[in-house]
Amino acid sequence: MQLSERMRMIADMVPEGVILADIGTDHGYIPVALVSEGHIPSAIAMDLRSGPLSRAEAHVREHGLEDCIELRLSDGFERLKAGEAGCAVLAGMGGLLILRLLKKGADLLPSLDTLILQPQSDIDQVRAYLHSHRFRIVTERMTLDEGKYYTAMAVCHGEDVPYTREDDLYGRCLIESGDQTLRDYLQSEIRHYQAILDHLGSQVTDRTAARYKEILEELSLANKALDRVTSHMEAANDE
């Protein structure tokens, strides 16, 4: 089945052959696609609301996957038992909500080998939480879907070396892989920050000085990340 660019990116990060728990499944597109493709044998599709779960149920029936995909009404990991799944997807929700669900499901997380996370906001706080709570981001991907940039990360258990502030903001894995989509995003962010500075520059007051300083710092971090991405891209091209 055809997935959006965002959802295809997430689906492609799920390890082959695992039992998947899709937390906040909405329409159930990802588990239906992965089971239909033979990428995974089965899945548990979970959602807090009955409306989205009903839509997911209809979608599962439409593809004849009732024996392979179980649907559960659940607040995050609440109705998932240890050992039932090897990978969990939390996607299409705000970063702070993802953090709430991870904290609430902390006792269950050791039973999962992999987490696939796709925060829609506050992604720097998600990364900071992960590497301060014995999680390691093993890979990240970024895509542009209908004019909006999305980032997804595959996470496993284990220590990670300390992140810099630009690592938290933009993703060490993306930076060090010389990701072209991240490069495009950073260039867009730099133009955005520069436009704000140009607007504020002629009218800096005591009230706007703090905002001006904050944007300068964000611009500096974006430029540092862009320099690193470009360096890794050039190194890869020289190989």
pLDDT above 80 for 205? no
Higher-confidence residue of 203 and 114: namely 114
> Is residue 224, in this structure, part of any structural domain at all?
yes
Residues 115 and 230 in one domain: no
Tell me if 174 sits within 8 A of 186, measured CB to CB.
no
Banded pLDDT at 159 (limits 50, 70, 90): confident
Helix 5-13 vs helix 29-36: crossing angle, to nearest 10: 60
Domain range for 228 is: 180-238
Spatial CB neighbours of 10, under 8 Å, sequence gap ≥ 6 = 30, 89, 91, 116, 118, 152
Choosing from 98, 128, 159, the residue where a domain stops is 159
Residues 66 and 118 in one domain: yes
**Rounded Cα distance, 102 and 94, in Å:** 13
**Rounded Cα distance, 65 and 20, in Å:** 14
**Rounded Cα distance, 28 and 213, in Å:** 44
Helices (H), the chain: 5-13, 29-36, 50-62, 95-104, 123-131, 165-170, 172-176, 180-201, 206-238
pLDDT tens digits, residue range 208-235?
Answer: 888 888 999 999 999 999 999 999 999 9
> Is residue 16, in this structure, part of any structural domain at all?
yes
> Is residue 166, in this structure, part of any structural domain at all?
no
pLDDT above 80 for 207? no
DSSP state of 3: -
Would you put residue 162 in left (φ > 0), alpha (ψ -120 to 50) or beta? beta
Residue with tokens 């974006």: 222
Give the least confident one: 119-123, 162-166, 167-171, 210-214.
210-214
* Distance, first Cα to last Cα, the chain: 37
Tell me what pLDDT residue 237 has: 86
Residues 38 and 136 in one domain: yes
> Is residue 133, in this structure, part of any structural domain at all?
yes
pLDDT above 90 for 143? yes
Adjacent-strand bridge partners of 145? 148
Token duo for residue 149: 């940039």
Token duo for residue 24: 């906040």
Q: Work out how many domains the chain is built from and give that number.
A: 2
pLDDT tens digits, residue range 21-62?
Answer: 999 999 999 999 999 999 999 999 999 999 989 999 999 999
> Is residue 9, in this structure, part of any structural domain at all?
yes
Residues 134 and 208 in one domain: no
